[in-house]
A and B are shown apart, each in its own frame.
Chain A
């Protein structure tokens, strides 16, 4: 099973700042079948990024994904108030696993 480790657990930033979230895999995700989801309190997760770097429909371009192999990154170029949430990475190359999540909170 591919284990995904997200860091940091919590990121405290101000609106307008840049957010960089990391997702490390215990073994290579060769196909780059890696997705990022956003979850706000009381709501279902929302797909942001798939195939490591493709934005899902309707996702603003301030969200970008990068990386390959075992190291992946979600970047939010300038945080908007609605971006404060929990973010999960997920691999769908070898079965399916989620990372533990990164909470982006207002500083």
Chain B
């Protein structure tokens, strides 16, 4: 079965950096687009970033553009989120999630079918 396990969260000071990881198993990782979605404490969901199955295209929410970088290592079945210049408003539970369709389906976009349990990032001095 699909399994997504996030790690790398923690407490970090404003302006510092953090890298999150998401280890994937149970499916052909290299054929699916992958996302990061975050949820501030007690708040709703906010989409953060998408990377295509082969890493050739990346898309970001305006709130993180220029500060966060999504990447993947298909040989390690792992998704990453490099977060720089962190702000208090970046405090959230960060989920990784998988597209419903694989690359070969022909769809240019997809809903998020499988989610990890999240890793908590707290930005505080």
Listed in ascending order, the chain A residues whose CB lies under 8 Å from chain B are 1, 33, 35, 37, 39, 43-47, 50-51, 56, 88, 90, 92-93, 95-101
For A98, the chain B residues whose CB sits under 8 A away are 44-47
**B116–A93 CB distance below 8 A:** no
Residues of A contacting B110 in the complex (Cβ-Cβ under 8 angstroms): 50, 92
In the complex formed, the residue of A with least CB distance to B113 is A47
Q: Is B25 an interface residue (CB 8 A)?
A: no
Q: Cβ of A88: which chain B residues have Cβ within 8 Å of it?
A: 44-45
**B119 CB, min distance to chain A CBs, angstroms:** 11
Task: Tell me the B residues contacting A by CB distance below 8 Å.
Answer: 35, 44-47, 50, 59, 61-62, 95, 100, 109-113, 115-118
CB distance from A23 to the nearest CB of B (A): 13
Q: Would B44 and A99 count as touching, CB distance under 8 A?
A: yes
Tell which of A37, A51, A93, A96 has the most Cβ of chain B within 10 Å.
A96
* Chain A residues in 8 Å Cβ range of B111: 33, 35, 47, 50-51, 90, 92
B100 touches A50 (CB 8 A): yes
Q: List 21 A-B contacts (CB under 8 A).
A: A35-B112, A44-B95, A44-B116, A44-B118, A45-B45, A45-B115, A47-B112, A50-B100, A56-B100, A56-B113, A88-B45, A90-B45, A90-B47, A92-B110, A92-B111, A93-B109, A95-B59, A96-B35, A96-B47, A96-B50, A100-B44
